[in-house]
Amino acid sequence: MDSMRRRCINKRLKPNPEGQDFISNLPDFIIGLILSLLPTKDAFRTSVLSKRWINLWMFITAVEIKDKEQLSRKKIRKIPFYKFVNKVLLHLESSSIQSFSLSLSQSYRHCRVDKWINDILINLRVKELYINSKQNLSISCHTLLESPSLEVLMLNMNWYSITLPTFVCLSSLTVLKFSKITVTCDPFKSQMLTLNFPVLREYLTEDCNWSNVKGVTLEVPLLEVLSIKYSRFPISKESNTVIKFCAPCLAKFYYYGLLLPDTNSLDLSIGHIAYAHIDICPFIYMGSAEQMALIACELLKKFNNNVECLTFQWPEIVAPAKLPTFRMLSCLELGYLTGVVLLNFLRNTPFLKTLVILKGIYQFDEELSNPDNVPSCFMSNLQVVNFGALNGKKHELRLAKFIMDNAKELQRVSFSAARNMHRSKFEKVKKKIISFKKSVSVAVIDFLPLHN
């Protein structure tokens, strides 16, 4: 495999008929940029091409090291891997390195990994660090948390615990992503942590939890994107950590996956927020439907006075609870739901201008069409309604007519058919909906093209 790759590279570098090797004549930093597109192991192999290429791999700007072969996925023996990593770290040109990615599928002594991280951050002064470990990896946070050059930090640690001091400040960090990490603190010191990231723009966590920590304050004055995801229940079940975000510039909030009781401990000290996306898995919950509804409503309450656009993928889970009133909401996107839940949301969004039904509606009884059920937003604000996944059933047409009859400021209604709807049926549904327009003054009715 190595000889074949070498012949391929030699062929590409073969001089043209005039005897000139254009690639080799490029400046060192340009060749370094080109080699950065290769896995670092392959870039390193170019040193055997000629004397000109012996040291050119040292000018790469992005380092990607894996302890598996790129194509075969075969694990590399530890001793050769140690030697390769040490040689790379020893010879790289520190002024050129921008990012460093380390992917480990085997377990390693923590002292070796700590030394690598120390060299990466202190000697190379990289701006972006990515560590992905499929084994329990023990590392020291000391160097990680005191790097003035670090701008992007992404750690995927296979549910390993990292211990933080009571105060952390990373002055240049703009993106932080923790995946499969349990964050803890020294049990003999204060269990209140302060994380100061003055220029952080994105904070993303996936399957992370806090253990032995009472409270965390994140001072993130420039934070724009906050994303929290849970695809499994945390290993540590005793955590009731209060997590406070001081984020006056937050623009987008995302919550995905399982709904955990710890969600109630999320404190968002924010001003106006443009968009919130909540996609809660309703199928796995360690409690009753009423408890899940209450926790989901508590999460929604964090945005009832400041969010402009809200996407809620599983609105049915809040059916047993009382919804908060959203006083600033102008755009609402809802997943699969019933007419009762839909009207409940509409009654609590008095200034709504745009309604999007993403996945269709599976029930809208005739008694719901009573004029007494018309929400206040229909009278003066609602302008645009988008129906998604339309099947042409009676209850769907009943809802469409209810909206078109009662929304006084309605300017546009659009309909998109479900993927399995036949064209002939869609044409019949279109005629039926168009007939509703005779009695209302809606400006535009759109029918989006069929998917099939």
How many domains would you assign to the chain? 1
Q: Give the per-residue pLDDT at 262.
A: 64
Answer left, alpha or beta for residue 439, where phi above 0 means left and psi between -120 and 50 means alpha: alpha
Tell me whether residue 146 is in a domain: no
Quick check: 291 pLDDT over 80? yes
If 0-12 CB within 10 Å is exposed, 13-18 middle and 19+ buried, where does residue 284 land? exposed
Instruction: Answer yes or no: is pLDDT of 338 > 90.
Output: yes
Phi, psi of 443 (to 5 degrees): -75, -50
310 CB-near residues (< 8 Å, 6+ apart): 275, 276, 277, 278, 303, 326, 329, 331, 332, 333
In this structure, are residues 315 and 338 in contact, taking their beta carbons and an 8 Å threshold? no
C-alpha distances in Å from residue 201, one per residue of 54, 247, 252, 310 = 40, 10, 11, 21
Token reading at 418: 């479900």
CB-based contact 194:167 (threshold 8 Å): yes
Residue found by looking up tokens 């005039």 in the block? 18
Residue of 292, 353, 354, 344 whose CA lies nearest to 323: 344
Percent of all residues in the chain with a pLDDT value above 90, rounded to a whole number: 51
Mean pLDDT value across residues 343-360: 96
Q: Are 273 and 247 in contact (CB under 8 A)?
A: no
Higher pLDDT: 284 or 450? It is 450
pLDDT digits (tens, 9 = 90+) for 128-180: 999 999 887 767 777 788 888 899 999 998 878 888 889 999 999 999 999 99
How high is the pLDDT of residue 1? 47
Mean pLDDT across the stretch 368-392? 94
With bands split at pLDDT 50, 70 and 90, how would you rate the model's confidence at 11? low
- DSSP-derived letter for residue 449 is P
Q: Look at residues 96, 94, 139 and name the one whose alpha carbon lies nearest to residue 121.
A: 94
* pLDDT for 317: 93
Cα(379)–Cα(370) distance, integer angstroms: 15
- In-domain check, residue 257: no
In a domain, 264, yes or no: no
Q: Is 432 domain-assigned?
A: yes
3-state secondary structure (DSSP) of residue 90: helix
The encoded tokens of residue 435 equal 């007939």
Look at strands 202-206 and 225-230 and give their pairing.
Answer: parallel
Query: For the chain, give me the number of helices (H) and strands (E)?
Result: 11, 23
What single DSSP character describes residue 38? S
Instruction: Determine, yes or no, domain membership for 132.
Output: no
- Assess if residue 145 is contained within a domain: no
Mean pLDDT of 317-336: 94
Task: Kindly report, residue by residue over 73-110, the tens digit of the pLDDT.
Answer: 678 889 999 999 998 898 887 677 899 999 998 888 88
Residue 213 belongs to a domain: no
pTM over 0.85: yes
Residue 114: the pLDDT is 87
Q: Is residue 344 scored above 90 in pLDDT?
A: yes
Is 373 a domain residue?
A: yes
pLDDT tens figures, 30-78:
988 889 888 888 888 888 888 888 888 888 999 999 988 766 667 888 9
Average pLDDT in the chain? 87
Q: What is the pLDDT of residue 18?
A: 55
Q: Are 313 and 339 in contact (CB under 8 A)?
A: no
Asked if residue 442 has pLDDT above 90, the reply is no
Residue 359 domain boundaries: 355-451
- Per DSSP, the residues of 176-193 read EEEEEEEEEE-TTS-SEE
- The pair of three-digit structure tokens given for residue 256, joined into one six-digit string: 């995905």
Q: Measuring CA to CA, how many Å separate 55 from each of 43, 60, 139, 267? A: 10, 10, 31, 52
Specify the 3-state DSSP secondary structure of 55: coil
**pLDDT higher than 60, residue 198:** yes
